[in-house]
Amino acid sequence: MKPVIALVGRPNVGKSTLFNRLTSSRDAIVADFAGLTRDRHYGNGRLGAREYIVIDTGGFEPDANEGIYKEMAKQTRQAVAESDVVLFVVDARAGISAQDHEIAGYLRRLGKPCVLVANKAEGMTQGLQLVEFFELGLGEVLPVSGAHGQGVRSMVELALERIPGLPPEDEEEPAPAGVIRLAVAGRPNVGKSTLINAWLGEERLVAFDLPGTTRDAISVPFERNGQKFELIDTAGIRRKGRVFEAIEKFSVVKTLQAIENAHVVLLLLDATQGVTDQDAHIAGYILESGRAVVLALNKWDAVDAYQREQIERQIETRLAFLKFASIHMISAQKRQGLAPVWKSIVQAQASAMRKMSTPVLTRLLAEAVQFQAPTRGGMFRPKMRYAHQGGMNPPVIVIHGNSLEHVPDSYKRFLEGRFRKAFDLVGTPLRIEFKTSANPFKE
């Protein structure tokens, strides 16, 4: 499970600049203006093979009790609660302030692992200028420059070292042999807990007609027809603007981590409400994570023929990027249509772990090119030589050749369709990567 790092500090100390540096993105707005960031902002980062989640926060005023500053402080407290380690960012050039003392006192009382980071330290000697920060009582001060990238790697390494019980690099939390991790995800109140209770045949989880009933990712062992499963009931993810309760905000990170840690994700939709933008957002995150996925429309018994036709059209348009996934119409409360879902879950897991031999892939590639060659890009037509498997869960096919950077996305989708049909890949994303041979006479 990915560790979570929170960036905390007073306004305008460079937290968003560090966030962009850690996530190798420009997702957070950066300007020389205090109070620009107000909400929590999540991003994914990587240090070598180690992946982590970063949370950017607004300027923190622990004692704020009114207006926007109170709401910003609430957001920051939730970020700290969600995190495994806190990067307390101070301004090396502006020096220490009374607000820094307040934040340091708050972090000391929590007792959470913390790294004191002096940002904007480019060109400064690591001597007398940083001595004053030791009075914050948080140990050694680490000078960095978010704008120039100086000391950032050491900062992340130190932060990860401070997390107790963090497994070594590349060591995924192992599931027992033969056990399929199944995460049930979706918006609040679509019936995730009701579905798992129906599978188990008992009221194992609290199911209530109120959004946000489930607060944490709950894991339950289960066995069906000799196949062992680990069922993970996740908290519903709703639009950020509709998340009011602090504990529910804490649940979002747990849900995203549960999706990434699963083998298969069952995306549960509410047939009475149709496919919403938030459903598409969750589906996009599942696809981005590379997890195998099965779609289930719950409460199918509660909609009439016209509504059924409308939701089928919505799936075709809003969830077109999941056209490889199986779709089932179910009623968790009445336990209708549940058996076929299991077949699709096992099939999706088998597809995600499918082994594809190099000779077969290369032959399929040659047949595809013979049927329809890629269009010419620039002076040369892309020439594909051979293909091999580059990974599983999700399956990755690597194609080698010349001038492959000119292959359009439409041709990539054409190849994906041929590979899927040949290997019967259902319910799993398929990633195709192109590797162009270097021209030895280029110089």
Q: Give the 3-state secondary structure of 240-265.
A: HHHCCCHHHHHHHHHHHHHHHHCCEE
Is residue 44 exposed (0-12), middle (13-18) or buried (19+ Cβ within 10 Å)? middle
Distance CA 164, CA 18 (A): 23
Quote the crossing angle between the two packed helices 305-318 and 277-289, to the nearest 10°.
40
The per-residue pLDDT for 211 is 42
Q: What are the tokens at 389?
A: 């498997």
Return the domain boundaries, the chain: 4-161, 180-351, 358-436
CATH class entry, domain 4-161: alpha beta
The per-residue pLDDT for 11 is 84
Quote the crossing angle between the two packed helices 409-423 and 358-371, to the nearest 10°.
130
Q: In this structure, are residues 213 and 301 in contact, taking their beta carbons and an 8 Å threshold?
A: no
Task: Give the three-class secondary structure for 182.
Answer: strand
Query: Pairing between strand 431-436 and 396-402?
Result: parallel
The per-residue pLDDT for 329 is 92
Q: What are the tokens at 237?
A: 């993810």
Task: Report the amino acid identity of residue 82.
Answer: E
**pLDDT tens string 161-178:** 888 877 665 454 555 557
Characterize 313-335 residue by residue with b for buried, 16 or more Cβ atoms within 10 angstroms of its Cβ, and e for exposed.
ebbeebbeebebbbbbbbbbbee
The per-residue pLDDT for 45 is 84
The per-residue pLDDT for 66 is 57
**Helices (H), strands (E): how many in the chain?**
11, 15
The β-bridge partners of 143 are 118
**pLDDT tens string 18-76:** 888 888 766 554 444 444 444 567 778 888 778 888 888 877 776 655 556 677 777 78
The per-residue pLDDT for 31 is 41
The per-residue pLDDT for 217 is 54
The per-residue pLDDT for 51 is 84
The per-residue pLDDT for 328 is 93
pLDDT, averaged in runs of 10, over the chain (443 residues)? 85 85 66 48 80 82 62 78 88 86 88 88 68 84 85 88 71 60 85 82 48 51 83 63 40 72 90 87 86 92 90 90 92 88 92 92 93 81 89 90 86 92 92 81 60
The β-bridge partners of 119 are 91
- Return the CATH architecture of domain 358-436: 2-Layer Sandwich (3.30)
Distance CA 133, CA 125 (A): 14
Distance CA 181, CA 128 (A): 53
Distance CA 28, CA 38 (A): 11
Is residue 272 exposed (0-12), middle (13-18) or buried (19+ Cβ within 10 Å)? middle
Distance CA 183, CA 261 (A): 9
The per-residue pLDDT for 245 is 41
Angle (CA) 33-56-290 rounded to 5° is 135
The per-residue pLDDT for 439 is 61
Q: Which residues contact 171 (CB under 8 A, 6 or more apart)?
A: none
Q: In this structure, are residues 299 and 307 in contact, taking their beta carbons and an 8 Å threshold?
A: no
The per-residue pLDDT for 285 is 85
Tell the CATH superfamily of the 180-351 domain.
P-loop containing nucleotide triphosphate hydrolases (3.40.50.300)
Asked if 4-161 and 180-351 have one fold, the answer is yes
